[in-house]
Structure 1
Amino acid sequence: MRLKHLPLLTLLFLLPRVANADVIDKIADLLKNANASEIAAYFGSNVEISISDESNTYSKAQAKMILDKFFKDNKPHSAKLLHRVSSNPNYNFGVYILTTEKGRFRVSCTLKEINKVMQIMELRIETEKPN
C-alpha cells in the first residue's frame, strides 16, 4: 500500500530538474532567433557579460542592449546545445554553438536559482576556435 504513491513522489522529486533543464533548451531557441528581449527576461538584476575580450557587470537593461547590439552585428543562423550541467537544482550551466553570418561563437550561460526562478548570472560569447 505504501508503494502506491512512489511513482508520484519520484515525479515530484524530478520535476524541478526537468523545469531547469527546459530553461537551458529554451535559451538555445532564443539564441537561434536572436531574441534578446526574451533572453533578458532570464537575466538577474546584475549580469556579467563577456563578448570577445570585453567583460563587465551590467544591469538587466544594459545587458539587454549589449545583447541586442551583438545580434544586430551577428545575425544567427542556428544554435546548438553542446554541453549541459543541470545536476544541481540551484545551479545550471549551458554551452552552445551559435552559427551566425560572420562565423561561429561559443556561448556559455551560468544560471542560478534565486527566489525559485532560474536567472542568468553570467553570459559569455567567444569566437569559436578552430580545431
Structure 2
Amino acid sequence: MIRFLLPVLVFVMPFLPSSPFQGDFVDEMSALFKAGNSREIAKSFSPSVELSLINEEDVYSKLQAEQILRDFFTKHPAVNSTVIHLINTNPNIRFGILSLATKNGKFRVSITSKKTANVFLITSLRIEAEK
C-alpha cells in the first residue's frame, strides 16, 4: 500500500497550494518587528493606518506612520518577536498578535491587515505595554 501511495504523493504534491492561506504575512511581520525594520514594515501599510502606540491613537498617512514606528524602534530597540495569536480563516483578512521584546520592556503588537490587489496591507497597528 505504501509503495502505491508514495508515487501518487510525489506526483500530486507539486499541484497542491503551498499554503491554503497566506498566514505567512503575520510571520513576516514578526520577523520585521524582531529586526526593528520600520521601513520594510511600512511597505505593507495601507495609504492610511490606524496607529495606536502606547497611549496615543490616531489615523496617519503611510509616511507619518512609518516615522512614528521608526521613533518607537529608536526608543525601544527590538530584541525578539514571536507570534502568539493568528487568525487567518478569512482569505481577505489577517489578524495577528505578536509579543515584542525590546531592550526597554515587552510589548503586545496587534496587526490587522486586509487584502488589496492580492497583497495584504496593514490597516491597523496597535502597540501597547505587555501586562
**Both proteins in one fold, TM over 0.5:** yes
Runs in 1 of length 4+ with deviation above 3 angstroms?
Answer: none
Distance apart, 1:16 and its partner CA: 5.2
Report the counterpart of residue 120 of structure 2 in structure 1.
118
Aligned residue identity for 2:56? E
Q: Does 1:11 align with 2:16?
A: yes
Whole-angstrom distance in 2 between the partners of 1:88 and 1:96: 19
1:95 matched residue in structure 2: 97
Q: CA RMSD in A?
A: 1.7
Post-superposition offset of 1:116: 1.5
- The residue aligned with 1:48 is 50
Kindly provide the CA deviation profile for residues 67-125 of structure 1, in whole angstroms up to 9, marking residues without a partner as x. 00000000011001100000110011000000011100000000100121100000000
Distance 1:29 1:49 in 2: 19
Larger Rg: 2
Counterparts of 2:19 and 2:80, CA distance in 1: 29
The 1-side partners of 2:16 and 2:116 are apart by 23
SS at match of 1:88: coil
Q: What percentage of aligned pairs have identical amino acids?
A: 39
What's the TM-score once normalised by structure 1's chain length?
0.86
**Offset at 1:25?**
0.4
The total of aligned residue pairs comes to 121
In structure 1, distance between residues paired with 2:20 and 2:92: 10
TM-score, structure 2 length as denominator?
Answer: 0.86
Distance in 1 between residues matched to 2:72 and 2:62, nearest whole Å: 15
Structure 1: unaligned runs, 5 residues or longer: none
Q: Distance in 1 between matches of 2:59 and 2:101?
A: 25
Give the distance between the partners of 1:39 and 1:122, measured in 2 at CA: 12
**Partner SS for 2:79:** strand
Q: Does 1:128 align with 2:130?
A: yes
